[in-house]
């Protein structure tokens, strides 16, 4: 694949795959600002095939694979012939309802991807929230960047849960999108969120292990709801293997909304 240096290269590649597409299929949905961030940090590469465009985003010791294809046949032919799938550790996400995800699996599994983990989206409608916790909560500061990233990396699966890069943590902290709870001068827990208009998403909610019996998590969540009383819809993604987290989200009024994310990995990533 060749490095992508301008947004126009991405748009041109996608349009070539879309041209005359009878049943266009894709898993490539980044917003323009996120896409520009990947380009600015030298993370994105791509290549165009007959009826398909492939993109790869570097992330730590592996890559995220994205595709745009005219139809399932074009996708299957292009990925079967693509040698890049064996070039290093790689994951890809299939996002949609169950039927949409199941339609894509026959094109990717025979080429060398296997099912790695599965996430579901949960949502709750905005409503007043009462209650208070036992630890103070404020916004994380620049000096917290390393601790925030460390807690996220220690709490989530880097292959399956789209962990932020250091520059994304720094940007989120600057934009006051990371709530922090502290005890004895240490970062006890965090809640990383993104709010746009009347919708807000929890990206990561984590508590350091030694503080998990101190009401840190509940305090963070209550503070988040109380300071977002104009929001009408809250949402998040959660790993289906994390029954403890799912139970807690249900306690706060979240419920599955029908979207799933089937994460696939190539053979270089252990099951």
185 versus 75: the higher-pLDDT residue is: 75
Whether 130 has a pLDDT exceeding 80, the answer reads: no
> What's the whole-number mean pLDDT along residues 124-143?
83
pLDDT band for position 131 (cuts 50, 70, 90): low
pLDDT at 127 over 80: no
The model's pLDDT over 70-118, given as tens digits with 9 standing for 90+, comes to: 999 999 999 999 989 988 999 999 999 999 999 999 999 999 999 999 9
Average pLDDT over residues 255-268: 97
| CB contact set of 188 (below 8 Å; sequence gap of 6+) | 135, 181, 182, 207, 208, 211, 214, 216
d(CA 136, CA 42): 38
Structure confidence at residue 132 (pLDDT): 63
Strand runs (DSSP E) across the chain, as ranges?
2-3, 25-26, 44-49, 52-59, 62-69, 90-96, 114-125, 137-139, 178-183, 186-196, 199-207, 233-239, 255-265
pLDDT digits (tens, 9 = 90+) for 39-81: 999 999 999 999 999 999 999 999 999 999 999 999 999 999 9
| List of domains in the chain | 2-119 (3.40.630), 127-231 (3.40.630.30)
Position 256 scores a pLDDT of 97
Whole-number percent of the chain with pLDDT over 70? 97
pLDDT band at 17 (very low <50, low <70, confident <90, very high): very high
Q: Please tell me whether the overall predicted TM-score, pTM, comes out greater than 0.85 for this model.
A: yes
**Contact of 167 with 155, CB cutoff 8 Å:** no
* Spatial separation of the C-alpha atoms in residues 192 and 178, rounded to whole Å: 4
Q: Evaluate if residue 134 carries a pLDDT over 80.
A: no
């Amino acid at each position: 694949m060749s490095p992508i240096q301008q947004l126009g290269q991405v748009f041109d590649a996608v349009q070539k795959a879309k041209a005359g597409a009878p049943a266009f299929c894709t898993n490539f949905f980044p917003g323009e600002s996120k896409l520009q961030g990947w380009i600015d940090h030298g993370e994105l590469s791509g290549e165009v095939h007959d009826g398909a465009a492939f993109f790869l985003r570097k992330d730590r010791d592996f890559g995220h694979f994205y595709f745009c294809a005219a139809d399932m046949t074009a996708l299957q032919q292009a990925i079967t012939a693509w040698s890049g799938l064996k070039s290093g550790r790689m994951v890809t996400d299939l996002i949609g309802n169950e039927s949409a995800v199941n339609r894509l699996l026959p094109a990717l599994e025979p080429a060398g991807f296997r099912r790695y983990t599965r996430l579901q989206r949960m949502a709750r409608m905005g409503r007043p929230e009462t209650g208070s916790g036992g630890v103070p909560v404020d916004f994380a500061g620049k000096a917290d960047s390393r601790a925030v990233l460390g807690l996220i990396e220690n709490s989530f699966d880097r292959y399956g849960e789209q962990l932020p890069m250091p520059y994304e943590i720094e940007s989120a902290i600057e934009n006051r999108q990371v709530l922090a709870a502290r005890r004895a001068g240490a970062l006890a827990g965090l809640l990383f969120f993104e709010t746009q208009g009347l919708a807000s998403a929890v990206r990561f909610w984590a508590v350091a292990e030694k503080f998990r019996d101190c009401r840190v998590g509940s305090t963070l969540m209550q503070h988040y709801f109380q300071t977002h009383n104009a929001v009408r819809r809250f949402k998040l993604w959660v790993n289906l293997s994390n029954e403890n987290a799912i139970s807690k989200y249900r306690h706060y009024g979240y419920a599955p909304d029908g979207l799933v994310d089937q994460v696939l990995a190539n053979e270089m990533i252990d099951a």
